[in-house]
Each structure stands twice: as structure tokens, then as C-alpha cells.
Amino acid sequence: MVDVMVNVSNFIAENPLRKGMSQDSSGDRPELKCLNQSCVCPYYGGETDGSVNGCTLPNGQKVLKALRKEIRMISDEERNELFKAIRDMKDTGDYDYIATIHRLAYEQGGAHNGAAFFSWHNEYCKRYEILVRKRNPSLALHYLDSTLDSPLPTPADSVLFTDESPNENPSPKTSIKYSSSS
């Protein structure tokens, strides 16, 4: 991860006009190195009570550990909030920043070719989730259980590829538009 962060800094220096990829968004992102709620709490705009996971937002809401759900099990409201956070990440450059880390790690072979695959991606997902939760601390980075669709004779029949929400009350699904201007 450290080598990739250095390469992200080099990439940023060589591509100074990329939106959100300024020198101040290089590898020194202390919030992404946090391992508990009290460390990341100030980046959510909250105050820590000194305990490992104690964080209270200005509105009095306690920040809880992220509860990751299978993507088909989240409500329409959760989905809309997640997509809104991702759009904001794109608008501010954080999405490009985290995507560049992944791309460079892939190109170097360390993130996808070898024993480090799982540990590297655990850390990467943690950092991605922190960037999402900076927009809304109640969110989580959900997962996809692809085995749920394996019994289908045609993968295209998956509810993931329909305009219906996979929860109990079908309603139009919100697709991610990566920019508020698109």
C-alpha cells in the first residue's frame, strides 16, 4: 500500500490538472490510516469521548460501526444515500483518488497477483468506506453475494439488472450518475 501511495503522489505530480488530484490529496491522508472510530471521528465532524469507538456528531448522533449488508438487502433510502455519497466523492475528486490507488496497485501486480490480495483489498475497502462515511457516517460499503444468482439459468435475469428494487416493495432503482452535472 505504501509503494502505491508513493506512486499516486508521482501520478498526481505528473497530472496536476486532474480534478481533485492536487498535491494536498497525495499519499498523506491521515484519516485513511485510522483503525478505529475515535481516530476518524474528527474527519466526520464529530467529537470523541476518548474511548476506542466513541464518536458523537454535532447533532448528538453516535457514530456506530459500519453495518455491511448484501447490496440487495439495503433499503431504497440507504441506496440513494450511498449513491449520493459516491457522486459527491466523484465531484470532489476523492473517487478518482481512491480509484487511482487501485489502478496503480493493479498495474504493479501486488494487489491482484499473489498472497497480498485479501489483506490489500481489506485495507483498500476500509479506506474507501472512510471516504464514503465522511459524507454520511451512517453509511457502509456494502457487498455483493454473487452466489445468490448462480442458480439462475441466465445471469441477465438477476434482479441487479432490472429497474426493480430487490427489497420487498419494488420501486424504481436509482442508477449511479457519477457527476451531479451528468
Spell out the residues 6+ positions from residue 140 whose beta carbon is closer than 8 angstroms to its own.
66, 67, 68, 69, 129, 132, 133
pTM: 0.74
Given this model, what pLDDT does residue 7 score? 56
The set of cell numbers assigned to 154 is 441466465
Model confidence pLDDT, tens digit, residues 3-33: 555 555 555 555 443 443 333 334 568 899 8
Q: Which residue has the cell 457522486?
A: 87
What is the per-residue burial (b if ≥16 Cβ within 10 Å, else e) of 67-105?
eeeeebebeeebbebbbbbbbbbbebbbbbbbebbbbbb
Q: What is the pLDDT of residues 88-115, one digit of tens each?
A: 999 999 999 999 989 988 888 778 888 8
User: Taking the domains of the chain in order of start, what are their residue ranges?
Assistant: 2-161
Tell me, what amino acid is at 80?
N
**Residue 52 vs residues 124, 126, 147: alpha-carbon distances, Å:** 21, 17, 35
DSSP one-letter string for 86-114: HHHHHHHTHHHHHHHHHHHHHHHTTTTSS
- Which residue has better confidence, 120 or 168? 120
Q: Which of 11, 8, 3, 1 is nearest to 27 (CA)?
A: 8
Residue 36, helix vs strand vs coil: coil
The torsion region of residue 36 among left (phi > 0), alpha (psi -120 to 50) and beta comes to: beta
